[in-house]
Amino acid sequence: MSSDLRAPASARLLVRQARWIAEEVVELRLARRDGLPLPPWEPGAHVELTLPSGLRRAYSLCGDPRERAVWTVAVQRAPDSRGGSRELHETALVGRELTVDGPVNRFPLLPAPGYLLLAGGIGVTPLLPMARALAVAGLPWRLVLGARDRSRLVYAEELTALGGDRVRLVPQAEAGLPDLAAELAAAPPGHAVYACGPEAMLDAVTELCGTAVPPRPLHVERFGPAVEAQEEQARGRFEVVLRRSGLRLAVPADRSVLEVVRDRVPDVPYSCEEGYCGSCETPVLAGTPDHRDSVIGPAERAAATTMMICVSRAASTILELDL
């Protein structure tokens, strides 16, 4: 995971194409109106779209990093959508421009002797560019994609054409859930495991990799908040000091740091508001954060130099932030 807190680039990009690629999944292709190349990116990167309503949502880039003229994202319509996926599915966007921030990569493909890629549904989007990169590099890899049924196997044709028998498609209606334990057992011990999908799947993979002997190198990306962030109730009141803004603000138990800060600094970046996209990462200058996100790793948590202000709170009475 990158600890680079510089603001990502922002651009107005034209939605050149929208197409259905699976049940309840639409793909958008974005390009500059003048046709000039877009910034480079690596597998695992995401961008943040500002929708016509003003909502901001982060989506994985799922195209080919070598294709500099177009950025591709795929969005699943979520039944419990807070508005983002519903708006993208129901709004005529082709020919319109959207503000796009990024790319940012918190799920990078790190060097390993081989790779096992585990995807559930729309979770395949950050893994598809990884599979493409590994195929080009000639490195060993396998990918397992599970979904409720065949109509929801996102990018199934592209993956099969790319990897052949390296790709295993598991429609639950026909074959049940993927046997994660068997897939891990079949992978050589040194191979890195990359996983993205539903929380239950990620929890199972995390437990299997953590209890393996030796433990498996595991990298996950979540499209939802971690269980601890969902279940923990906010602790009591504390204060945040915004050094650059010269403000001292009280954060009550029923509001997030992000909500309080946005009252006075409305342009602070944010997206998911659930601690999994990384858009609101903010440097901590003093005090101790109480991390409740799904992004910051153990080493960075211990260092206490950064936090996701949408869900994390304070373990000290005062936090000083670089805002």
Q: What is the pLDDT of residues 70-119, one digit of tens each?
A: 999 999 998 766 678 889 999 999 999 999 998 989 899 999 999 999 99
Number of residues that make up the chain: 323
Element (H, E) at 208: helix 199-211
Sites in the chain below the pLDDT cut of 50 = 1-7, 227-235
- Write down the pTM of the prediction: 0.75
pLDDT digits (tens, 9 = 90+) for 148-171: 999 999 999 999 999 999 999 999
Taking CA atoms, 57 is separated from 54, 81, 194, in Å, by: 10, 11, 23
What is the Cα–Cα distance from 31 to 65, expressed in whole angstroms? 14
Question: Which residues, 6+ apart, have CB-to-CB distance to 7 below 8 Å?
Answer: 269
What is the Cα–Cα distance from 73 to 87, expressed in whole angstroms? 15
